[in-house]
Amino acid sequence: MGVGSTEQNPFAPPSEEADFVLSHDVGGYRLATYGQRLAGNVIDTMLYGAAAVPGVSLALLVGERYSLGGAALGALLLALYQWSRIAATGQSVAKGWLHTRIIRENGERPGFVHGVVLRSWVMALLGMVPFVGYLVGLADALAIFSGTTRQTLHDRIAHTLVVQNSTVFRGGNAP
């Protein structure tokens, strides 16, 4: 290959960007990373376990017949708090710690219907169906790897995205 040759150098670095991109922007929003999504789920799950500890501890002190109720009460109180946060701000406790939030695909706050009912309750009901629940849970987790928007099945049902916290809601600032 001489000067002015039109042959391609097989050892030259690629001149175009690769198809695989680690960081995605969708509609001006920076999507939460896979790690942020996983960590948020793990932390929120651990918080529910921690919320059950006082009730279980009390049950061990006074008698076993109260153990289920005490554990359920702690988890229910945490769920009510989480649902109110998600409806108002798009953030669970873990999403707040990880600087991520839920938004609707149109950029608005998720509200109660999209943020709680469609994202959580529909999936919980589907998860209760024998055998089908396992498949739905698996499909929910694996759906994040299809497409370019990192949406799980519950995100697709609710038409939501999880974005990094620097994102501003359309029509107003993030709370």
For residue range 85-108, list pLDDT tens digits in order.
Answer: 999 999 999 999 999 999 999 989
What's the CA gap between 113 and 87, in Å, rounded? 8
If you count them, how many residues does the chain have?
Answer: 175
How much is the pLDDT for 19? 45
In tens, the pLDDT along 125-144 reads 999 999 999 999 999 999 99
Residue 158 scores a pLDDT above 70? yes
Per-residue pLDDT at 54:
81
pLDDT digits (tens, 9 = 90+) for 48-91: 989 888 877 777 777 666 566 767 888 899 999 999 999 999 99
DSSP-derived letter for residue 114 is I
Q: What is the pTM of this model?
A: 0.75
Domain boundaries, the chain: 29-164
With beta carbons less than 8 A apart as the criterion, state whether 93 and 47 touch: yes
Cα dihedral 99, 101, 107, 108, rounded to 10, equals: -120
Give me the mean pLDDT over the 115-125 stretch.
Answer: 95
- What's residue 64's pLDDT? 63
Strands (E) across the chain are located at: 25-26, 29-30, 100-104, 160-164
Using one digit for the tens of pLDDT, what is the confidence trace for 8-54?
Answer: 777 777 665 544 444 567 777 889 999 999 999 999 999 998 988 88
Adjacent-strand bridge partners of 104 = 160
Q: Give the residue ranges of DSSP H helices in 16-66.
A: 34-62
